[in-house]
Structure formats: structure tokens, C-alpha cells
Amino acid sequence: MSDGTPADLFFDAAIGLLQRVREEEAEAIAAAGALLADTVTAGGRLFAFGAGHSSLPAQDVVYRAGGLALMNLLAAPGLVGVDVMPATLGSRLERVDGLATAVLDTSPLRAGDTLVIISLSGRNALPVEMAISARDRGAKVIGVTSVAYAAETTSRHASGTYLKDHCDIVLDSKIAVGDAELTLDTIPAPFAPASTVVTSALLQAVLATTAATLADRGTEPPLLRSGNVDGGHDWNARVFEEYRDRIFYQR
């Protein structure tokens, strides 16, 4: 590790990744934003899914101020964050064949919807099967993953494929295999992961594109306002009522 405090070096690494994503994924970001706008315009519903720490960026785009009210979290016990005990069980569940199909079978996802699947490695059975099964149902899939894993790891899905192989649009987070940006001679393992920072930024860039695209088409984007500003709750109540058939976290 070169000169500079660990904090400085982490910020430098994160900023560098964000700059790469901004420059190299611009076309994919625009396409993903347009796809979400197409789905909204056509009356479809929006869903986001991630397992383990990949669930954090998914949760970040659901029911939040400044975000699209129509984005719903696709969740199942033990798959969202580290809410399961022991936490290591969640990692094992990501490798279970058939689980993704069971989740979709009991979800409101249908043809014409769009599902955002977040998986840093994209190698486990769960995200691969989720993408395959969602597309079989007639849904569009946006995958957010690090494409580098496909070149440097082996797939854990029976097909030998990765999440990136089963998406309509792929957003590459550029995160290095292992998800740790720093090393230090006195510390035996690499440390300081940046995948959450970068993936969340990627998704917010996509949703900003979606909102602007809808506005350009003459459709008011169904955005939420903060409940901590005057009039925020009234604004959100109107949006919830208008789109109640496409918002599932209110039920």
C-alpha cells in the first residue's frame, strides 16, 4: 500500500471505480434506465433482488426519498442481508438449486415486469437460476455484477454459466475478485470492500436516467419525497394511491 492514510487510499480506490463505471458503463446505464422507463410506461412492475451484502443496494432503491415508488424488493427469509442466524447460512442458501424458482413462484413477478438482480460474483446457483426463471416468465432482467468473476472463478450453477449470461442488460461494477481494495504488510488479508458503494451508485444512476426518460416522454416519474419535509407524506400518499396496483411494500 502506497503513501496516504488507509482512509485516503480507500476513498481514492472508490472514486477510481466510480469513475471507471461512469465512463465504461454509460451505454449500459442509459439502456437500463430506458428499460425501466419502458416497463413503467407499459404498466409493468419493477423489482430488485440481491442476496447477502448484495441485498444492500437492492434495499437502497426501495421506498426511499428521491427514488421510484414502483421499485419493490423481492425477498425471501435468509436471503436478505445477514438477518439469518447463523449468518453463514445465507451463503449456503445462495448455492441451493431450486430456491430461486421457489421464490419467484411465490412472488408477484409476471410477464412484462423488470427484475434487477444484484450479485457481485454472479457465480452462485441462486442469481443464475433467478435470472433464467424470471426470463422464462416473460420478465426482463438487469444484472448488476462484476464480470471479472466469470474469468477468474468457476460457476456454482449446474449450467456452468454466470448471472451475466442470462440478462437483457448487464451493468459491470468493475469490482476485483475478492472485493477488497487495500492491502497492508501488517495485515494478512486484503481489506476495505467497495462493492456496496459502487453498486449503489450504479443503481442510483440508472434510476436517475429512468426518471429523466419518463419526464422526457411526458410522464411524471412516480417519485417519493422525504417524510421529513413539509408535505412529504401527502405527496407520497398520492403516489401510493395512483400506483397502488404496482406497489407491494404497502400491502
DSSP code per residue over 224-249? ---TTSTTHHHHHHHHHHHTGGG--T
Task: Scan for cell 430456491, then name that residue.
Answer: 99
Residue 149 C-alpha cell reads as: 468473476
Nearest-angstrom CA–CA distance, 101 and 98 = 5
Kindly state the average pLDDT of the residues 213-219.
97
> 70 by DSSP, 3-state: which?
coil
pLDDT of residue 79: 74
Assess whether pLDDT exceeds 60 at residue 88. yes
pTM score of the predicted model: 0.94
> Is residue 25 within 8 Å of residue 169, measured between CB atoms?
no
pLDDT, one tens digit per residue, over 195-205 is 999 999 999 99
Tens-place pLDDT, residues 134-172: 999 999 999 999 999 999 999 999 899 999 999 999 999
Which pLDDT band, with edges at 50, 70 and 90, does 94 fall under?
confident
Average pLDDT for 232-247 = 96
Check pLDDT > 90 for residue 76.
no
